[in-house]
Amino acid sequence: MQLRTGVFNQPYRFRTLQPGEKVIIWEEPITGDYLGFIDNIGNNWFPYTYIDFIVDGELIERIQKVTGELEGYAFQTRPVNPPIVAKKFIRWIAVNQDVDAHVFEVYCGGYYAKPKPQET
């Protein structure tokens, strides 16, 4: 059990990547004795690009366009249930292997909490 203390700073972030760039689009350190609980995520995607969603150094998901899917502004958020727990950091890294520049968008919603003290 945990005690909620606040929400993530700026859950929606975006950045333009030029061809060949690899850039952190969204990053949130988890400090002190807090935990981060990710309960909603979203992103857009393009051909010849991918986005890595990383929590505490572990690759949670690689989001990559599959032939035939909508592209460009196909931005939607989706709930994460149960929430993903972060102890150190959350990071979204975009890689543009296309010949065109693209604006990458990421939404990572969630909250900070401290573990509930044990009763003695």
What CATH number is given to the structural domain containing 43?
2.60.120.1390
* pLDDT band for position 32 (cuts 50, 70, 90): confident
Domain membership of residue 9 (yes or no) is: yes
pLDDT higher than 70, residue 81: yes
pTM for this one? 0.86
Per-residue model confidence as pLDDT tens digits over 94-112:
999 999 999 999 999 999 9
Q: What percent of the chain has pLDDT over 90?
A: 68
Higher pLDDT, 21 or 5: 21
pLDDT at residue 6, as a whole number: 83
Q: pLDDT tens-digit profile of 84-95?
A: 999 999 999 999
In a domain, 35, yes or no: yes
What residue numbers bound the domain in which 71 lies?
2-115
User: Could you give the number of structural domains in the chain?
Assistant: 1
Q: Quote the percentage of the chain above a pLDDT of 70.
A: 84
Cβ atoms of 101 and 18 within 8 Å: the answer is yes
User: What average pLDDT does the segment 53-80 reach?
Assistant: 80
Residue 82 lies in a domain: yes
Q: With 0-12 CB in 10 A as exposed, 13-18 as middle and 19+ as buried, what is 119? A: exposed
120 domain-assigned: no
- The confidence score (pLDDT) of residue 114 equals 87
